[in-house]
Amino acid sequence: MGSQTNNEEDPEAQSIALEKRNLGEFLVTGSLYTLYTIPDEVGAKVFQFPATIQLSCVGSCQRVQTFECTRRYTGHGSSTDRGWGEYVAYRCRNCQRQEQRYFYVWKDNEFWKVGQVPELREYIDPKLKKALGDSAPLYRKAIRSRSFGFGIGAVSYLRRIVEDKTDALMDLLKDEKWEGWAEPDRAEFENAKVTFQYSQKIQYAAEKILPPTVFANGRNSFSALHDVTSNGLHGKTEEECIVIFDQCNLTFTRTFQMLSEHKREREEFAAELLALKR
């Protein structure tokens, strides 16, 4: 057999390629001024950014697209991307118009993203934006806080949205159940709406109204999101809260999309039922 020469067969080349992808992901999602450390075992051999990155195109595409590296600037004229106060530019492969530049400091195995042009414009999936309604601006602030390294602010905004939507959850519960409830059930609801804390309201409403898809081993996603973000606010560092935000984000997105879908299906069913002629 001949010597292994391609990247698929060369473990070292694979490690370098993987770390370049990781560095590219940090360019896109990493917080400004946060240190990213390249592992020592490949650090000396990683000296350029990846040729492409995955990034939300906020131009005409309005979706995640592949962006290609179009130019690099290094003041020292070297072929390496390492340097102090340099920038790298990527352009959307689809529309060929939207460009993103990242300014950075890269010294040995240590990397900092120190700026980006155009400035951060938070992209929100249209389905999530519709589901959040008037809470969408708070979610934009959560994303922006996370991008600037303000993890405590990011989880604070998430918790605020959960609490705001808890009242909407209670209203939905009333709309769906009130007519069929006996007087004790109605009294329990009114008491819960006025006297319960948010965590208690969430548990009460979730058990009676949320679809099974937001439950796992008896725990509902509304309560889980509220508990985890509250814990972050009350005792975690900025960096730890960024991790919490990233862990919560997918659950947060799916929860509100499912809740919006549940409400839409209920309203459509009610309209169809009323349209039936005697």
Average pLDDT of each block of 10 consecutive residues along the chain (278 residues)?
54 85 88 86 84 86 88 63 88 92 91 85 77 89 86 93 86 82 90 87 81 73 89 90 89 84 76 74
For residue 244, the model assigns a pLDDT of: 93
- Residue ranges in 118-237 assigned as alpha helix (H): 126-132, 136-147, 151-177, 183-195, 198-209, 221-233
What pTM was estimated for this model as a whole? 0.67
The phi and psi torsions of 120 (rounded to 5 degrees) equal -55, 125
**In this predicted model, what pLDDT tens digit does every residue of 143-196 receive, in sequence order?**
888 888 889 999 999 999 998 888 888 888 888 788 888 999 899 989 988 888
Residues 145/160, Cβ–Cβ less than 8 Å: no
pLDDT at residue 6, rounded to an integer: 55
Predicted local distance difference test score (pLDDT) of residue 4: 47
